[in-house]
A and B are shown apart, each in its own frame.
Chain A
Amino acid sequence: MRYYKLVVMKEKTQRQKLLNFGISTLSLGIFPLIWFLSQAILFRELTELISRNWLVVVGIIIGSTFIFLLFYGMNFFISLADRDSRESLEAKMFVGPSIFMIGLFLFYPALRTIYLSFQDRYGTSYNGFDNYMWAFSDPEMLVTIRNQIIWLVFVVTFVLIIGLVVGWLSDRLNKGEAFFKSVVFLPMAISAVGASAIFKFIYEYRPPPLTQIGIINGIRVSVDREGYVCANNKIIEGVNRVVGDENCLPPIGWLQQRDMSNLPFVQNLDLDNWFNSIIVNIPINTILLMVIMIWMFTGFAAVVFSAGIKAIPNEIMEAGQIDGASELRVFTSIIIPYIKSTIVVVGTYMVVTVLKAFDIIYVGTRGDLETNLLAVKMLDEFSKYRNIGRSATVAVLIFVCVFPIIWFTIKRERETIS
């Protein structure tokens, strides 16, 4: 008797499952699809038939009723399902459109970009792995990849280290902590374009007889040398001290220096020494551009870290101090392990931000003199060199670099939830 009942129930669920499946494909799949297609066809025909002004009116009327009718229709089909499964179907009904929209505007372009990366410059014919061969052999592309790696390593490291130190120190302030933190956080409030423009003025160069308006060159040409008075086009003791005087330091176009060879101390180095040859080849312009990003994001990191440090229970810190741990020991053995997850989050965020870094290069140098990054290179290939295939390839490279980080973040998210 009991056995029989169980079978009936099972049968019923299976039939129901089938019915529910039918209803959900109908309400979440077929119906919206037909509805969308009929809209698309309707408007395609209408554009040919009626004038633009009418089209706007029709668009507003049909478009606004469209969503209402879409949900009304879906709801109608769902109401055919039995009570138990209706709730989950209704939830799906609301999630569905957003998944569809993300698919339309994110997944489809992503797939299309990957497809285009195997196409020629017009995106019309297949050319195998040529674009990828180019990406890893073209000298300019290799410089771009080198820069991207330098940026990833240095910007992320410096933002984390300086952020940690500043966050820790600000936590130890007795007075004015809030003020200090808001000042440090301030660069985040400036757009990257604005920050780059500010720094561009700091690095500004004018040819020698002109007064230097960039602060670095202004200081540089004003440094007295071996008793000789130098100045930035100023009359000192009756003598006009001009920029470009042979006895004084010349100004340097900082963002145009791809190595150190213009700095006086490097000129006396013995270049056969391997260490010196590395020093000579340090790309000054890339470093100066990285400074802008470090300047912008350090405050953000510091504020996040300082919040993390605040959350450390006092008992643990006191226990450490009672056991005689030095400040450094407390920092490395208590604070860092305790806020490890915060460091990982900020680090992940920074890695993604650096991979997408665009504004600083675009405003700063636009990639000239070996300063390019992938995001700007992608745009250059598209608009400057008009090569759709290569542009898509660079986009795919960025995506491939970001992907492990997204995957890692999702995985970590799951672990925290479970």
Chain B
Amino acid sequence: MKKPLLVSFLLLTLVLGACGGGSLEGEEVTITGALIGVEQDLFRAAFDSFTEETGIIVSYTGSDNFEQEIQIQMESGDTPDFALWPQPGAVVDAAKRGYLIPMADLDIDVDDYKNNYSSYLVGLGEVDGVVYGGAASVNLKSLVWYQPEEFAARGYSVPETWDEMIALADQIVADGMNPFCFGMYSNGASGWLATDWMEDIMLRTGSGTDSYDKWVTNELAFTDPIVKNAATLLSQIMHTENYVVGGTDAIVSTFFGNAQDPMFSKDANGNPGCFMHRQASFITAFWPEGENQFAGSKTTVFPFPVIDASLPKAALGAGDMWGAFNDRDATKAVAEYMLSVGFFDSIAASPDNSRLSAHASYPAANYNSDLYKEFGQIVSDALSANAFRFDASDLMPPEVGAGSFWKEMMNLAVEGPGYVDTALDNIQKSWP
């Protein structure tokens, strides 16, 4: 009774085992990452046509705790074929520790890759001149959300410069309303919204991308006048009376995903709680129910205002980057596919998509909605002009970028404009 069962089991595994040899047909490539939910489904679906063509089975597993898990997997040597990190800093970190395979060894033409994805993006995954990271997708942060109807009804016009924005804010306050929505509470990451503001301001002041790049490596210290000026401008938004709905209490206490809600609700006089909300492209997912179908019409964006008109129009974003743990032939094939223009087509076509291709010449027309076509255009323009910059706090050492910078921005919000110097001093001191 037992013997035939065992024999058939052995036969089955023999057959399964035999399939594993030979061509790339049936080879499995594993990817782990932090994309979950809808984004996970979209990412998986992006490999459907690839699997049909080559027979390579790509299995992606997303996890909430990806960053912890991959640390443990790297330590123990039990890695997947690829890891898709939410920020390039982690790729560099893994590469420095010798876990990743250089792109050149994956038969990727590095020069082509740099042309397609801009040398700045590629440079984010570089260690000592060797490229390790594969740029995947980006999001766009230099956006201010507003409702055109509310603006039109009160005769407000969309501000193009910082001064215009401040003038508009003052007018809104004079009309008895609050111009800004601002909430930066985020479990364990509270303060990142203020660091985003700082980065957007940094890109548009001083010497623009130059001083920004120096700031990221701390060549330009946090105590530098350029940084201080940026923090002062941010403090102007945070601390000018009635600028932010709910005041500094609301800035510190409001979950970033709820921050825009006052814009969608009316007070006793029929006025919205706020008029402007500076937030990244992905925020539509957090809007009150039913509102995100009107993204791009009822609620739409204007680019973060220009501060110094002599600087090129910059765009701030963040995004993910992958690294490969081995150079099997199947891994090489997948790496090549992930860097091709077509990789993003099925993702871009989906109405649920909230990411943008990092390919500089990705056709913006491929995106599903007008809003994303606009985003795609802004991103590829900025990439081509080499004025796209990555979220600085993601690039700084984690003690600063995920530690003191966030924390001191929270303190700045609580303590008021007089705290600017102390905050910047403290951040500078914590730089390892």
Q: Which residues of A contact B (CB under 8 A)?
A: 50-54, 56-57, 122, 140, 205-210, 239-240, 242, 244, 250, 252-253, 256, 262, 363, 365-369, 379-380, 382-387
Contacts and interface: CB of A to CB of B under 8 A. Distances in A.
B187 A205 contact: no
Given A57-B13, A122-B97, A368-B187, A209 B253 contact: no
B267 A385 contact: no
A208 B13 contact: no
Interface string B341-368: 0000000000000000000000000000
Interface in B93-113: 93, 97
B229 to A, nearest CB: 27
Interface stretch (B35-43, B118-126, B203-211, B255-263): B255-263
B129 interface: no
Nearest to A261: B414
B85 to A, nearest CB: 12
A253 B13 contact: no
Given A250-B249, A256-B252, A387-B399, 8 more contacts: A53-B16, A210-B258, A242-B267, A379-B68, A380-B188, A385-B402, A386-B71, A386-B93
Contacts of B9: 57
Given A209-B265, A210-B265, A368 B190 contact: yes
Nearest to B20: A51
B134 interface: no
Q: Which interface class (under 10, 10 to 19, 20 to 34, 35 or more) fits B?
A: 35 or more
Contacts of B10: 57
B371 interface: no
B97 A207 contact: no
Given A382-B71, A383-B68, A206 B398 contact: no
Contacts of A369: 190, 252, 410
Contacts of B187: 363, 365-366, 368
Nearest to A385: B398
B188 A205 contact: no
Contacts of B17: 50-54
18 contacts: A51-B20, A57-B9, A57-B10, A57-B13, A140-B407, A205-B254, A207-B183, A207-B258, A207-B261, A209-B265, A209-B273, A210-B258, A256-B253, A365-B187, A368-B186, A368-B187, A383-B71, A384-B188
B250 A368 contact: no
A242 B268 contact: yes
Contact of B67 (A50, A383, A387): A383
A369 B71 CA distance: 26
Given A262-B249, A369-B190, A385-B403, A207 B254 contact: yes
B155 to A, nearest CB: 22
A385 B10 CA distance: 47
B181 interface: yes
A344 to B, nearest CB: 36
B275 interface: no
Interface in B186-212: 186-190
Contacts of A51: 17, 20-21
A146 to B, nearest CB: 16
A253 B68 contact: no
A56 B253 contact: no
B185 interface: yes
Interface string B42-59: 000000000000000000
B245 interface: yes
A107 to B, nearest CB: 19
Contact of A253 (B186, B188, B252, B398): B252
B185 A208 contact: no
A391 to B, nearest CB: 10
A208 B253 contact: no
Closest 4 CB pairs of A and B: A253-B253, A366-B188, A209-B273, A207-B246
Nearest to A245: B268
Contact of A208 (B90, B250, B398): B250
Interface in B233-273: 245-246, 249-250, 252-254, 258-259, 261-262, 265-268, 273
Contacts of A387: 399
B387 to A, nearest CB: 30
A57 B12 CA distance: 10
A205 B184 CA distance: 13
Nearest to B264: A210
Contacts of B14: 54
A53 B249 contact: no
Contacts of B21: 51
A53 B254 CA distance: 51
Contacts of B253: 205, 207, 252-253, 256
Given A54-B13, A366-B187, A206 B273 contact: no
A180 B432 CA distance: 56
B100 to A, nearest CB: 15
Given A242-B268, A368-B185, A384 B261 contact: no
A142 to B, nearest CB: 14
A207 B250 contact: yes
Given A56-B13, A253-B249, A210 B273 contact: yes
A52 B249 CA distance: 57
B68 A256 contact: no
A297 to B, nearest CB: 24
Interface in B322-350: none
A54 B245 CA distance: 64
A398 to B, nearest CB: 18
Nearest to A239: B268
Contacts of B254: 205-207, 253
B78 to A, nearest CB: 11
Contacts of B90: 386
A53 B20 contact: yes
A135 to B, nearest CB: 14
A379 B268 CA distance: 46
A53 B11 CA distance: 11
Contacts of A242: 267-268
A236 B253 CA distance: 28
B52 to A, nearest CB: 24
B262 to A, nearest CB: 5
B273 A207 contact: yes
B274 to A, nearest CB: 9
Contacts of A210: 258, 261-262, 265, 273
Contact of B273 (A50, A208, A363): A208
A262 B187 CA distance: 21
B258 A206 contact: yes
A61 B51 CA distance: 34
A53 B20 CA distance: 9
Contacts of A382: 68, 71
Contacts of B67: 383
Contact of B245 (A122, A207, A240, A385): A207
Nearest to B191: A368
Contacts of A50: 17
A316 B136 CA distance: 76
Interface string B2-22: 000000011001101100110
A386 B14 CA distance: 43
A292 B245 CA distance: 30
A385 B398 CA distance: 5
Contact of B268 (A240, A252, A367, A385): A240
Contact of B185 (A256, A262, A383, A385): A256
Contacts of A239: 268
A386 B398 contact: yes
